Amino acid sequence: MLQGWLTVVLVALGGGLGGMGRLFVSRAAASRFGSRFPWGTLGVNLLGAFAIGWLAAALSAGASALAPLLLVGVLGGFTTVSSFSLQTLDLLREGRTLAAATNVTVTIGLGLAAAGLGAWVGAPA
């Protein structure tokens, strides 16, 4: 029972850290590149996809107590489908169909490639 609660605490702590990281990256991207396109969300989702692929491969060699903290907590809090979805919807509402389509295509396509690259990098030798 204690191990179950420890997992919940690790996921909660990781989620808080990941959410703060997402806020930092999103604000930095908006100040650097502007807010007409969701660069920050794209960045966190691609970085998160790479990181989750890498960590999942690296941790698969043995069950790790770090998996709930890092995979579910930190990376779950860092990456975001909800912001991606809302920002894409906002682009569509603004009549920016090409930007919305680009956001979807790049996020999904490069996200899958980033996860694959991360898994390849993290795979045990």
Containing structural domain, residue 73: 2-122
C-beta separation of 63 from 124 below 8 A? no
CA angle 101/104/107 to nearest 5° reads 140
The tally of domains found in the chain comes to 1
pLDDT in tens, the chain (125 residues): 557 889 999 999 999 999 999 999 999 999 999 999 999 999 999 999 999 999 988 887 556 778 889 999 999 999 999 999 999 999 999 999 999 999 999 999 999 999 999 999 998 87
Find the length of the chain: 125
The pTM of the full predicted model, rounded to 2 decimals, is 0.87
CA distance 85 to 47: 17
CA distance 9 to 38: 31
